[in-house]
Amino acid sequence: HYRCRSAFKLLEIDDKLHILRPGLSVLDCGAAPGAWSQVAVERVNALGTDPAAPTGFVIGVDLLRISPLEGAVFLSQADITDPGTQRAIQNLLPAEKVDVILSDMAPNATGIKELDHQKLISLCLGLVNLSQSILKPKGTMLCKFWDGHESRVLQNKLKEQFQDVRTIKPQASRKDSSESYYLARLYKGK
Ligand code: SAM
């Protein structure tokens, strides 16, 4: 019932590393078509399906249109790097900040590997900057990157700002050999 097979990557990562739990609020960057948001809605109990557990919140953002999903709030046709989008997110959040930032974002691939790599790294670096205004202290960030020369730059920046940073290569993304994720936990905040 997932909108896209990418759901299985997040399920696999979360089964192993437990980044989502009932009551957490989540920002899903690059959310279209919405499979990660489906997983997040289930795991943070955004619909209150389990009345005994706390109710979480999910907001998804994408350049593309995203069909509505019960339990999630979507900002469609919105660029996460745009300050206007960042203000809109903040206005929609129930609290000032989120517990988890997920990013499965991917820029339109040009086919030039080095260029695509750099574009995705700069998107991720932008998210680390955004964390300052949008991620709670001790919060978590999970972001996809394509491996290359500048992966280290992103990894080092994450290590500056989070206490625990690891690289994850889900089984479910084996076919895309250059795709990995950084999982950064325990945001140091300001
Ligand atoms: N995780 C999604 C799911 O499970 O349904 C799939 C995400 S797809 C691999 C990557 C998405 O990132 C694309 O829909 C693309 O439009 C989006 N994206 C790329 N750059 C973006 C940006 N600057 N702001 C918002 N979304 C962006």
Q: Is the CB of 81 under 6 A from ligand 1?
A: yes
Q: Please say if the pLDDT value at position 123 is more than 80.
A: yes
Could you tell which of 6, 62, 101 is best to mutate to test the pocket of ligand 1, judged by most ligand atoms within 8 Å of the CB? Answer: 62
Mean pLDDT of 161-171: 96
Asked whether the ipTM of the predicted complex exceeds the cut of 0.85, the reply is yes
Please state the φ and ψ torsions of residue 104, each to the nearest 5 degrees.
Answer: -110, 25
Q: What residues contact 117, with CB distance under 8 A and at least 6 apart?
A: 145, 146, 147, 148, 149, 150, 151, 178
Q: Is the CB of 80 under 6 A from ligand 1?
A: yes
Question: Of 9, 97, 138, 144, which is the active-site residue?
Answer: 144
Which pLDDT score is estimated for 55?
A: 98
For 104-118, what is each residue's pLDDT tens digit? 999 998 989 999 999
For 38-92, what is each residue's pLDDT tens digit? 999 999 999 999 999 999 999 999 999 999 999 999 999 999 999 999 999 999 9
